Amino acid sequence: MFSLLTLISSKFALPHLDRFQTYATGYLIGKDKLEFNYTQTISCTPNKTPSSSLEFSVHYLKQLYTLPVYDQNEEKLEWSGEPLLETQSSPTCPNGFERQSSFCHDINECHEQTNICQYMCENQIGSYRCFCPIGFKMNELGQCQDVNECQQFQIDCGQDRTCFNTQGAYECIDVPCPVNYLRNNKTDCQSKCAHRSTCSPRRAMYIRYRFIALPRLTPSNKILFTLPNLDLNKTSRKLVDRNHFNSSFPFVLDGSNLKTGQILIDSNEYELEIHVYKNEPFNRRRLSTIYIVQINVSPFHF
């Protein structure tokens, strides 16, 4: 429905008014401007004298006249009586309107095209507007794009913590280096004896933290992470579910690729480990690297 109508013309300030032409680029509905051109013929008498009448050739504006009308200084002009419409045929309806009988009415694009917006649609007069949830922005293609709060706001999570940018939000995650490990960078730790043969074969030479943010409805068989510099013939790998989801765990390790094993229907958080072993003579294995992976599945599908 319409809220406020501003007829842009200083003529309304005059006590008596004859027929005249106004030319404008649109109405002001509250503070929003309608983007279409029209020419209208108006004859009216202000409410200080007996009831007024309006005569319009642009029929699709009829519904506006039953509401309070404001002039360019936002001073209220009272109107009464049903507007009188000319009997001449109305022009072609502009974009965003459809003809019903002899009048043009606004099309509610949000109802007629349910997928017109990714998130939320608001119908406007002759048009519509799409909105994105908090944590997203509209890109040039009209799609909701995640805002990287970690970078944009330079989030400092403190010592031994890192900022994990999720779809529409962010988290501060602990990334500790265990005893006898040194920090290589913000998300990697290296054993103090990594370059010595005296290291226990059960102690990983490297511990690396990785973070993956996914939209809801991510399809099955999608590659999420590839283990770098991996010789499949000289290594073996093991996938560990830290959340103990067991049979419902939706991820698989295929060679050097971590993939989705099923469509990700629900929003959730997952923690897993990927253990990489170096194969040694006499069927022995040495734990080379542990990847600690946190996966956040957004409640949004974009």
| Helix and strand numbers, DSSP H then E, in the chain | 2, 26
Instruction: Give me the residues paired with residue 6 across strands.
Output: 28, 70
For residue 54 the two structure tokens come to 């309006």
The domains located in the chain, with CATH, are 177-223+234-297 (2.60.40)
Model confidence band, residue 41 (pLDDT cutoffs 50, 70, 90)? very low
Give the pLDDT score at 221. 97
Measured CA to CA, the distance from residue 218 to residue 301 in angstroms comes to 8
Nearest to 43 by CA among 14, 70, 68, 76: 14
> What tens digit of pLDDT does each residue of 90-140 get?
557 888 888 777 778 888 999 888 889 999 999 998 899 999 999 999 998
pLDDT at 47: 40
- The answer on pLDDT for 209 being more than 90 is yes
Q: What is the mean pLDDT of residues 18-27?
A: 35
More confident residue, 76 or 203: 203
6 has a pLDDT exceeding 80: no
**Is the pLDDT confidence value at 149 over 60?**
yes
Residue 69: strand, helix, or coil? strand
| Of 65, 64, 71, 40, residue with least CA distance to 53 | 65
Q: What is the chain's mean pLDDT, rounded?
A: 75
In percent, how much of the chain has pLDDT > 70?
A: 68
Q: Which of 205, 15, 16, 26 is nearest to 124 (CA)?
A: 26
Q: How confident is the model at residue 196 (pLDDT cuts 50, 70, 90)?
A: low
* pTM of this structure: 0.66
CA separation for the pair 56, 113 (Å, rounded): 31
Tracing tokens 């009831």 back to the chain, one arrives at 51
| Rg of the Cα atoms in the chain | 33
More confident residue, 216 or 81: 216
Question: Where do we find the tokens 């200084």?
Answer: 73
Report the distance separating Cα 50 and Cα 294, nearest Å.
74
Burial class (CB in 10 A: 0-12, 13-18, 19+), 297: buried
pLDDT top residue among 240 and 3: 240
Residue type, 287: L
